[in-house]
A = this chain, B = another copy of it.
């Protein structure tokens, strides 16, 4: 059973695997290459993944057979285990609990080489709807406090499989980064009685210097204090705390801005590796006036070095104003 351990000074949680599978010596070889050849996520290989949790099957085909356009399965090598109790306990000065949680893989397309920039809009809509469905389903499990949805594109961004997929991790604690964001946004709200993201949105949509793309409901933004070159956020124009509360008709607009953003990124930077993460409300307070869900996209173009790790201070060689302009013109 993996363990959740808390750093007593910073309050940061870590999932420590206690499986003995990976020997320390295996780290001497460091480079992980994307597996060529056989792909367990491709149609026809459904028996190589754990059984599907949900799937979109326009042809009404049977579970765990080909015919799907999107498929969600448990991660074969989960960071957390779904069964058991948290069993929170001390170890002297330290706090820990069992590594309980869900770790799922959203297989986004049957097409092994599809990119978000090449996918049909309907396909992207389905991915976003699948995110919502899984959040709603998992939020019924009262052990969970937060659901993290993320996507790793390319080996440099930590992907171990090339086939297009996102991942979901349901956690029994709210992680540090979202907690910090909620605290910052709440402190602003307590002072101004306004959502800080709504204020940012108003300023950005007026100035327009950092806007990358836009439609009636959503827009993409190179944020003012971008940590990384070409960092982009996708935000809803109207206040909404939790991602899963997006009404159904808005997913078409969201898919459109996703498609636009990744087309621009892939054109401008020749299909860069990237990570994106959904930032949404914790499960026990989905209706806050101060949280405002959004996606953060980080192209992995520069290396993170000691200064950034030690300080949490970033050096960004590309002003977001320039990045936004370059992307708009791509």
Contacts and interface: CB of A to CB of B under 8 A. Distances in A.
Interface stretch (A46-54, A60-68, A132-140, A144-152): A144-152
A200 B8 contact: yes
Nearest to A313: B175
A116 interface: no
Interface string A60-81: 0000000000000000000100
A306 B8 contact: no
A22 interface: yes
A243 to B, nearest CB: 13
A167 B307 contact: yes
Contacts of A157: 303, 305-306
Contact of A316 (B17, B158, B171, B225): B17
Nearest to A6: B225
Contacts of A276: 306
What is the count of identical protomers in the complex?
2
A119 interface: no
A249 B197 CA distance: 53
Interface string A226-237: 110110000000
A129 B254 CA distance: 56
A22 to B, nearest CB: 5
A82 interface: no
Interface stretch (A104-112, A211-219, A264-272): A264-272
A177, A300, A310 pick with most chain B CB within 10 angstroms:
A310
Given A15-B314, A27-B301, A277-B309, 8 more contacts: A13-B314, A14-B315, A30-B156, A30-B301, A91-B224, A94-B203, A175-B312, A177-B312
19 contacts: A6-B225, A10-B177, A14-B226, A15-B315, A16-B320, A17-B317, A27-B272, A27-B299, A28-B270, A30-B272, A32-B303, A79-B315, A94-B224, A169-B307, A171-B313, A177-B310, A275-B305, A279-B310, A298-B309
